[in-house]
């Protein structure tokens, strides 16, 4: 395609910048200066602004051949599975490391061009589908995984065979939008991307907000290290996401939807595109959903490598072609979202729960939880555990049972030293706190949070200071640079955990790390900066001896303490 | 006067004060005399919420909130200087000190250049804590004669980027990269002269750390004496931008825009900002010159020169009438000279043929 053809293809579409950039990126194998100039002119974006925005995304290559250079996942789990050896072996091919790319149950993923390869050494990298969620013992308490393991479920025929689109059909034909919201409200469904905001309340706010067109945005920018549930849901149940989005559109009066998909899931984009095509052909998407006259269109927008774009307001700025800094809130996206218009932003898992709730009822969903908690939560379990994978647990399920009964416990001869919560954002739980139940109140009482449900396991062979360093390095790499406490704080904490800078006396070291963390937690502008210090906080709480050894060892180094 | 009885109000450090709907907590607090520290704030720009120094405690809120982005809500109880927020401010200032090459910068660097230094002093933040890598990379390679790009002292407040976009409308600079590696840049990391930059200098004047500097003014940093500021109006064109001329003794050492100038609110163009060298340029005429019989200019006394000029003008007027005379005053002349010039043409010759190159 010529420059002009690419621009003409997307220019009149909503949110055109990312698809235009991806088209140039795919055509040329990188984003050339000429391409960037053409996009600036074609979409009327100031050149410096566009250049700055492109540099924000780490997967846009800016040297020839960059797209085809291997990018090796160096996330916390993959590093323990030999990622650094793979990276070294592929160095002659121009390999670089990339943050966790969301396949921790099947290490080590390597992205090359538009393909994901996976393997435990450079020699055995193969393309293979991401793993299906392993079967669970309490299958009857599942919601989003209830039918996902059925063969052919990702196709429209398979999805319908398993009861798909029946809930939506009933909703659009028999229920008013207000009744749909009422049903979601009663189910107790809350944001499964980590924030836990009641979904029904969010939908009602958008339904009641002034301004059109309204939008439904599916947040599929699953960037949290150790989280890979949304990939499984989209790969094996794409129609559930589509059905949930249409239902959300119907309930709120939105006629357009966007799936903001993280860059690292190239195969998922094809699966989603195919499912959308099938749904359009069957009259489920388009000008008249199931013949009701309700119109709903769905677009995929692919990210380009930036964890912060999973923060909903950064995501919206990214879609709008702006520099993806988080926005100041209020106003919230429910009134000022995409293009400053009312917008639902829901996580994949949240939206994929909706069809099941519509089909089986709010009371059924609410009843899936334990100890008074509603519904379920998918946990992405990885690391030093016998059977890693995505497990859908009832809210309130004991962590211990998940780790030992469902996932087989630690490897032979090992014990579990610590687990992370919320991927990395919740920091570590260890010791007695491993006997927590998986629900927000219980986990928050232990100064952590469940978040998106990523749990990485570290056994007694692991150096927790090194693990904490890798975690903080990730946050520093992904800090957007907007607010001072996060931009400087993640850097300073990383340096201290690496032993590169900081006081060589333990008391002063702990003071500095605690002071930085306190100010980050209380003054950062978004969740990245407020969550990152949970890593150091929990490290110092559970592993004071390891911290002491670390500081003492580095205190002996000639440069320590002098930056 | 802090309440009006009928309008909405907030409680500010224990005192009930009125606010205008839509007003931010920072604006209301500042209006009521509170000195809340900021570094990313410029009243002309959209609130950004980056530096977090302006955090205040709001009753009922879990964590302190940025007062620059938070709007007043009726009944809100705000504490602007509690121990808790002061601790965060000090930590933030210590962190800033740790990322820059230096805290002290020459006052000639720019109008806002002392903002960070003043806060470092206020929070006694030169503690040497939080040492580590420094952020930003200076661009001494940029050959432009106006703007120093010393990003070793950049704190990523993006006031430069935002003033360029929001006030000047040039979008010449932007933010490259992320996090601690962010860098202010033009497209493709080039030089300002190859970008959309018009060298208006607004980025320089709003920079709170001296990362951007006025090279013209800094060239006079070694001139001895107290810096005196004289408010005047830029003579270069008809907009009427208010400026402060900086002088030391008899030397004009720089120009700064007046933030309260009604026509410009801190904005200037490249001429008003940087083009003042002619005032004390060695090529400037220091005495009258009269053209002799040989066709060359020769130094002359004032009486001789004025007589020759008067003679010539009178001859023209007598031969062709008073409207044959046309006066054009220079934009480089002082306003007083321009005023005198029009008096001279109107009153002296009786014609309205008077103009100024600034009108063009």
pLDDT of A24-54, one tens digit each? 999 999 999 999 999 999 999 999 999 999 9
What gap in Å lies between CA A69 and CA A54, rounded to an integer? 18
Which parts of chain B fold into alpha helices (H)?
25-31, 83-99, 115-122, 159-162, 202-206, 215-218, 270-274, 302-320, 335-343
Four-residue CA torsion sign, A509, A511, A512, A513: positive
Contact state of A495 with B133 under an 8 Å Cβ cutoff? yes
Contact B88 A36 (CB under 8 A): no
pLDDT digit string, tens, across residues A370-381: 999 999 999 999
Q: Are residues A194 and A239 in the same domain?
A: yes
Q: Assess whether A117 and A203 both reside in one domain.
A: no
Q: Name chain B contacts of A486, Cβ cutoff 8 Å.
A: 179
Alpha-carbon distance B136 to nearest alpha carbon in chain A (angstroms): 12
Cβ-defined contact of B95 to A485 (cutoff 8 Å): yes
B25 vs A contacts (CB less than 8 Å): none
Q: Element (H or E) spanning A336, and its range?
A: helix A333-336
CB A439 within 8 A of CB A449: no
Strand B77-79 to strand B242-248: parallel, antiparallel, or no bridges (unpaired)? unpaired
Report, as an integer, the average pLDDT of A412-434: 98
Of A390, A424, A459, the one marking the end of a domain is: A459
Identify the residue among B64, B67, B175 best suited for mutation to test binding to A, counting A beta carbons within 10 A and taking the highest. Answer: B175
Q: If we measure between CA atoms, which residue out of B330, B331, B325, B359 comes closest to residue B345? A: B325
Residue A560 domain-assigned?
no
Cβ-Cβ contacts under 8 Å, B175 against chain A: 52, 56, 323, 481
**Vertex B278: Cα angle to B272 and B280 (nearest 5):** 120
**Which member of A306, A488, A525 has the closest CB to residue B49?**
A525
Which residues in chain A touch residue B188, judged by CB atoms under 8 angstroms apart? 33, 36, 51
Sign of the CA dihedral running A239, A244, A250, A254: negative
SS3 B328: strand
Mean per-residue pLDDT, A130-151: 89
* Cβ of residue A331 closer than 8 Å to a chain B Cβ: no
Cα–Cα distance for residue pair A175/A183, rounded to 1 Å = 10
Burial classification of residue A253, based on how many CB atoms lie within 10 Å of its CB (0-12 exposed, 13-18 middle, 19 or more buried): middle
In the numeric block, the tokens 């939807």 are attached to A257
| Model confidence pLDDT, tens digit, residues A99-121 | 999 999 998 999 999 999 999 99
Q: What is the pLDDT of residues A234-243, one digit of tens each?
A: 999 999 999 9
Residue A43's nearest CA partner among A1, A22, A15 is A15
Nearest residue of B to residue A330, measured between CA atoms: B70
> Which residues of chain A lie closer than 8 angstroms to B120, CB-CB?
none
ipTM of the complex in this document = 0.95
Continuous segment of H or E residues that includes residue B56: strand B55-58
Tell me the CATH architecture of domain B289-359.
3-Layer(aba) Sandwich (3.40)
B16, B7 Cβ separation under 8 angstroms:
no
Helices (H), ranges, A57-139: 76-80, 83-89
Best A35, A45, A482 member to test B by mutation, with max B CBs in 10 Å, is: A482
φ and ψ at B94, to 5 degrees? -65, -40
Judged by CB atoms closer than 8 Å, whether chains meet at A523 and B187 is answered as no
- Looking at the predicted structure, is the pLDDT value of residue B2 above 80? no
Q: Answer whether residue A27 is part of any domain.
A: yes
Mean pLDDT of A523-544: 98
Smallest CA-to-CA distance from A188 within A448, A409, A364, A9 is with A364
Verify whether the Cβ–Cβ distance B131 to A306 is below 8 Å: no
Contacts of B165 in chain A (CB under 8 A): 46, 49
Our CA-based measurement puts residue A450 at a distance from the nearest CA of chain B, in whole angstroms, of: 19
Q: A266-315, pLDDT tens digit by residue?
A: 999 999 999 999 999 999 999 999 999 999 999 999 999 999 999 999 99
Chain A contacts of B173, Cβ < 8 Å?
A: 48
Task: Please indicate, yes or no, if residue A390 is contained in any of the structural domains.
Answer: yes
Inter-chain touch B91–A47, beta carbons under 8 Å? no
Confidence at A138, pLDDT banded by 50, 70, 90:
low
Chain B hits for A98, Cβ within 8 Å: none
Q: How confident is the model at residue A557 (pLDDT cuts 50, 70, 90)?
A: low
Does domain B9-81 fall under CATH 3.10.20.740? My reply is: yes
Distance to chain A for B88, nearest Cα, Å: 5
Whether A474 and A448 map to the same domain: the answer is no
If 0-12 CB within 10 Å is exposed, 13-18 middle and 19+ buried, where does residue A139 land? Answer: exposed
Task: Name the residue among A440, A427, A437 with its Cα closest to residue A497.
Answer: A427
pLDDT at A558 > cutoff 90:
no
Collect all residues of chain B within an 8 Å Cβ-Cβ radius of residue A55. 176-177
> Which of the four pLDDT bands, split at 50, 70 and 90, describes residue A5?
very high
Which of B177, B180, B196 lies at the smallest CB-CB distance from A48? B196
Q: For chain A, give percent helix, strand, coil, nearest 5.
A: 50, 15, 40
Residue A252's alpha-carbon distances to A152, A188, A210, A212, in angstroms, are 31, 18, 11, 11
Containing structural domain, residue A104: 71-124
Interface check A477 vs B, CB under 8 A: yes
CB B331 within 8 A of CB B356: yes
Beta strands in A113-255 (DSSP E): 115-118, 215-220
**pLDDT category, A231, cuts 50, 70, 90?**
very high
* Domain-embedded: residue A180: yes
Model confidence over B144-186: pLDDT tens digits? 999 999 999 999 999 999 999 999 999 999 999 999 999 999 9
- Is the pLDDT score of A559 beyond 60? no
Comparing CB atoms, the residue among B165, B179, B186 nearest residue A481 is B179
CB contact under 8 A, A481 and B180: yes
Residue A556's pLDDT is what?
A: 53
Write out the residue limits of the CATH 3.30.70.20 domain(s) in chain B. 102-280
The token pair at B199 is: 């060298």
What's the gap in Å between the CA of A433 and the closest CA on chain B? Answer: 24
Phi, psi of A377 (to 5 degrees): -145, 135
Number of domains in chain A: 5
Is A63 a member of any domain?
no
Which residue of chain B is at minimal alpha-carbon distance from A49? Answer: B174
Q: Which of B21, B28, B69 is nearest to B45 (CA)?
A: B69
Sort out which chain A residues have CB atoms less than 8 A from B129's CB and list them: 512, 515
Q: Does residue A563 register a pLDDT over 60? A: no
Record: contact A481-B64, CB cut-off 8 A: no
For residue A481, give how far its alpha carbon lies from the nearest alpha carbon of chain B (Å): 4
Cis link prior to A414 (omega < 30° from 0)? no
Residue count (chain A): 563
Is residue A549 in some structural domain? yes
The per-residue pLDDT for A554 is 78
Cβ of B180 within 8 Å of Cβ of A495? The answer is no
B1: confidence class by pLDDT, cuts 50, 70, 90: very low
Q: What is the DSSP letter of A134?
A: P
Boundary-marking domain end, from A424, A459, A494: A459
Same domain, yes or no: A118 and A170: no
Chain A: nearest CA to B48, how far in angstroms? Answer: 8
A61 is a domain residue = no
Write the residue in B39, B92, B179 that is nearest to A490 by C-beta: B179
Q: Is the residue at A153 inside a domain? A: yes
Say yes or no for a CB contact (<8 Å) between A523 and B92: yes
Contact criterion met (CB < 8 Å) for A501 and B132 = yes
Instruction: Count CB neighbours of A456 within 10 A.
Output: 29
Whole-angstrom distance, CA of residue A330 vs CA of residue B24 = 12
Q: Please state, in angstroms and rounded to a whole number, the distance separating the CA atoms of residues A243 and A260.
A: 16
Contacts of A513 (CB under 8 A, 6+ apart): A493, A496, A502, A536, A540
Is residue B354 within a helix (H) or strand (E), and if so which, with residue range? strand B354-356
Q: CB A328 to CB B135 under 8 A? A: no
Instruction: Inform me whether the C-beta atom of residue A555 falls under 8 Å from chain B C-beta atoms.
Output: no
- Is the bond into A108 cis (omega within 30 degrees of 0)? yes
Using the predicted structure, report yes or no on whether residue B196 has a pLDDT greater than 60.
yes
Q: Are the beta carbons of A56 and B196 separated by less than 8 Å?
A: no
CATH of the domain spanning B102-280, picked from 3.90.180.10, 3.30.70.20, 3.30.110.40, 3.40.50.150: 3.30.70.20
Mutating which of A50, A56, A523 best tests the B interface, going by the most B Cβ atoms within 10 A?
A523
Q: Which residue has 């990391």 as its token pair? A: B189
Helical (H) or strand (E) element with A204:
helix A199-208
Burial (CB count <10 Å: 0-12, 13-18, 19+), residue A178: exposed
Q: Which residues in chain A have Cβ-Cβ distances shorter than 8 Å to B87? A: 518-519
Identity of the residue in A36, A491, A522 whose CB atom sits nearest the CB atom of B132: A491
> Considering chain B, what percentage of its residues have pLDDT values greater than 70?
98
Q: Which H helix or E strand runs over A113?
A: none
What is the DSSP-derived secondary structure letter of residue A322? S
Give B144's strand partners: none
Do residues A148 and A249 share a domain? Answer: yes
Does the distance separating the beta carbons of B47 and A48 come in below 8 Å?
no
* Nearest by CB: B179 against A477, A502, A523: A477
* Mutation target among B163, B178, B194, B195 for the A interface, most CBs of A within 10 A: B178
The C-alpha atoms of residue A216 and residue A399 are separated, in whole angstroms, by 33
Comma-separated ranges of CATH 3.10.20.740 domains in chain B: 9-81
Which whole number is the average pLDDT over A408-420?
98
- Among A459, A491, A506, the domain-final residue is A459
Mean pLDDT of A234-254: 98
To the nearest whole Å, the CA of B221 is away from the closest chain A CA by: 31
Burial of A266 (0-12, 13-18, 19+ CB in 10 A): middle
Same-domain status, A322 and A201: yes
- Positions of CATH 3.40.50.740 in chain B: 289-359
Helices (H) and strands (E) in chain B, counts: 9, 16
Give me the DSSP letters along A390-437. EEEEETTEEHHIIIIIIT--SPTT--EEEEESTTTTT-EEEGGGGG-E
Contact B155 A36 (CB under 8 A): no
Kindly give, in sequence order, each residue whose CB lies less than 8 Å from that of residue A425, ignoring residues fewer than 6 positions away. A194, A224, A449, A451, A527, A528, A531, A532, A534
Supply the pLDDT for residue B357: 86
pLDDT digits (tens, 9 = 90+) for A333-348: 999 999 999 999 999 9
The fraction of chain A above a pLDDT of 70, given in percent, is 98
Q: Taking the CB of residue B74, how many other CB atoms lie within 10 A of it?
A: 10
Sequence-separated (6 or more) residues with CB below 8 Å from residue B256: B110, B111, B205, B229, B243, B244, B246
Mode of pairing for the β-strands spanning A215-220 and A256-261: parallel
Contact between chains at A51 and B91 (C-beta distance less than 8 A): no
Determine whether the interchain pair A563/B196 forms a contact, defined as Cβ–Cβ distance below 8 Å. Answer: no
- Interface A:B, Cβ pairs < 8 A: 163
Q: What CA–CA distance (Å, rounded) separates A271 from A542?
A: 43
Whether residues A450 and A509 fall in one domain? no
Residue pair B53/B90 in contact (Cβ under 8 Å)? The answer is no
- What CATH number is associated with residue A480? 1.20.1440.230
Instruction: Give start and end residues of each alpha helix (H) in B66-114.
Output: 83-99
The Cα–Cα gap between A391 and A385 comes to 13
Dihedral sign for Cα atoms in the order B288, B293, B294, B295? positive
């Amino acid at each position: 395609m010529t420059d002009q053809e690419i621009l003409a293809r997307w220019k009149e579409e909503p949110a055109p910048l990312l698809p235009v950039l991806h088209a140039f990126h795919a055509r040329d194998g990188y984003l050339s200066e000429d391409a960037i100039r053409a996009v600036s002119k074609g979409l009327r974006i100031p050149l410096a602004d566009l250049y700055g925005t492109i540099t924000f995304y780490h997967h846009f290559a800016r040297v020839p051949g960059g797209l085809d250079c291997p990018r090796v996942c160096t996330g916390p789990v993959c590093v323990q599975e030999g990622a650094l050896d793979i990276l070294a072996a592929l160095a002659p091919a121009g390999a670089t490391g990339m943050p966790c790319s969301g396949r921790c149950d099947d290490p080590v993923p390597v992205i090359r061009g538009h393909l994901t390869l996976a393997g435990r050494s450079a020699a055995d990298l193969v393309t293979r589908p991401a793993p299906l969620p392993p079967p669970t013992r309490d299958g009857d308490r599942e919601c989003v995984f209830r039918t996902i393991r059925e063969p052919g479920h990702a196709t429209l025929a398979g999805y319908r065979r398993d009861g798909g689109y029946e809930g939506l059909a009933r909703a659009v034909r028999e229920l008013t939008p207000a009744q749909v919201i009422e049903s979601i409200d009663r189910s107790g469904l809350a944001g499964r991307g980590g924030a836990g905001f009641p979904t029904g309340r969010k939908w009602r706010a958008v339904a009641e907000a002034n301004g059109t067109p309204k939008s439904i945005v599916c947040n599929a920018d699953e960037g949290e290290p150790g989280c890979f549930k949304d990939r499984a849901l989209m790969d094996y149940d794409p129609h559930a996401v589509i059905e949930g989005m249409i239902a959300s559109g119907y309930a709120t009066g939105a006629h357009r939807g966007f799936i903001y998909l993280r860059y690292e899931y190239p195969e998922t984009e094809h699966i989603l595109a195919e499912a959308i095509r099938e749904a359009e052909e069957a009259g489920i998407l388009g000008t008249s959903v199931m013949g009701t006259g309700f119109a709903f269109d769905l677009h995929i927008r692919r990210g380009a490598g930036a964890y912060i774009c999973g923060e909903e307001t950064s995501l919206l700025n990214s879609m709008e072609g702006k520099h993806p800094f988080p926005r100041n809130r209020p106003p919230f996206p429910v009134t000022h979202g995409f293009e400053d218009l009312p917008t639902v932003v829901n996580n994949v898992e949240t939206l994929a729960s909706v069809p099941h709730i519509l089909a089986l009822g709010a009371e059924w969903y609410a009843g899936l939880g334990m100890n008074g908690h509603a519904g379920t939560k998918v946990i992405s379990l990885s690391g030093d555990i016998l059977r890693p994978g995505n497990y859908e647990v009832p809210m309130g399920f004991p962590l211990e049972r998940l780790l030992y009964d469902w996932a087989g416990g630690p490897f032979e001869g090992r014990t579990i030293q610590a687990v992370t919560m919320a991927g990395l954002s919740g920091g570590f739980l260890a010791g007695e706190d491993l006997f927590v139940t998986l629900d927000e109140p219980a986990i928050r009482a232990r100064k952590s949070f469940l978040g998106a449900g990523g749990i990485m396991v570290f056994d007694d062979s692991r150096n927790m200071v090194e693990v904490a360093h890798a975690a903080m390095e990730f946050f520093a790499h992904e800090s957007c640079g907007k607010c001072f406490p996060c931009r400087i704080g993640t850097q300073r904490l990383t340096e201290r955990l690496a032993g590169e800078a900081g006081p060589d006396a333990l008391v002063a070291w702990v003071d500095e790390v605690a002071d930085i963390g306190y100010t980050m937690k209380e003054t950062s502008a978004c969740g990245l900066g407020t969550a990152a210090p949970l890593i150091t906080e929990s490290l110092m709480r559970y592993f004071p001896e390891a911290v002491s050894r670390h500081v003492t060892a580095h205190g002996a180094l000639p440069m320590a303490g002098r930056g | 006067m802090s309440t009006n009885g009928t309008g909405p109000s907030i409680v500010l450090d224990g005192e009930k004060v009125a606010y205008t709907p839509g007003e931010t907590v920072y604006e209301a607090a500042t209006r009521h005399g509170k000195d809340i520290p900021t570094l990313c704030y410029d009243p002309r720009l959209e609130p950004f919420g980056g530096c977090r120094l302006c955090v205040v405690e709001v009753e009922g809120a879990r964590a302190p909130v940025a007062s620059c982005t938070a709007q007043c809500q009726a009944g809100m109880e705000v504490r602007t200087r509690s121990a808790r927020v002061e601790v965060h401010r000090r930590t933030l200032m210590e962190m800033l000190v740790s990322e820059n090459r230096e805290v002290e910068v020459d006052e000639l660097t720019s109008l806002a250049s002392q903002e960070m230094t003043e806060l470092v002093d206020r929070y006694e933040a030169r503690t040497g804590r939080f040492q580590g890598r420094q952020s930003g990379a200076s661009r001494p390679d940029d050959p432009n004669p106006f703007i120093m790009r010393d990003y070793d002292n950049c704190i990523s407040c993006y006031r430069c980027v935002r003033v360029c976009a929001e006030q000047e409308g040039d979008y010449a600079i932007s933010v490259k990269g992320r996090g601690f590696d962010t860098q202010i840049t033009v497209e493709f990391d080039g030089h300002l002269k190859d970008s959309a930059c018009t060298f208006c200098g607004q980025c320089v004047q709003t920079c709170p750390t001296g990362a951007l500097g006025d090279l013209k003014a800094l060239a006079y940093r070694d001139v001895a004496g107290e810096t005196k500021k004289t408010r005047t109006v830029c003579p270069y064109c008809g907009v009427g931008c208010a400026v402060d001329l900086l002088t030391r003794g008899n030397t004009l050492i720089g120009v700064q825009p007046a933030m309260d100038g009604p026509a410009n609110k801190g904005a200037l163009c490249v001429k008003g900002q940087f083009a003042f060298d002619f005032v004390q340029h060695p090529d400037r005429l220091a005495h009258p010159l009269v053209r002799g019989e040989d066709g060359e200019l020769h130094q002359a006394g004032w009486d001789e020169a004025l007589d020759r000029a008067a003679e010539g003008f009178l001859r023209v007027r007598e031969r062709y009438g008073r409207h044959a005379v046309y006066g054009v005053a220079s934009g480089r002349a002082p306003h007083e000279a321009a005023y005198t010039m029009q008096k001279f043409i109107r009153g002296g010759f009786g014609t309205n043929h008077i103009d100024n190159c600034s009108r063009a």
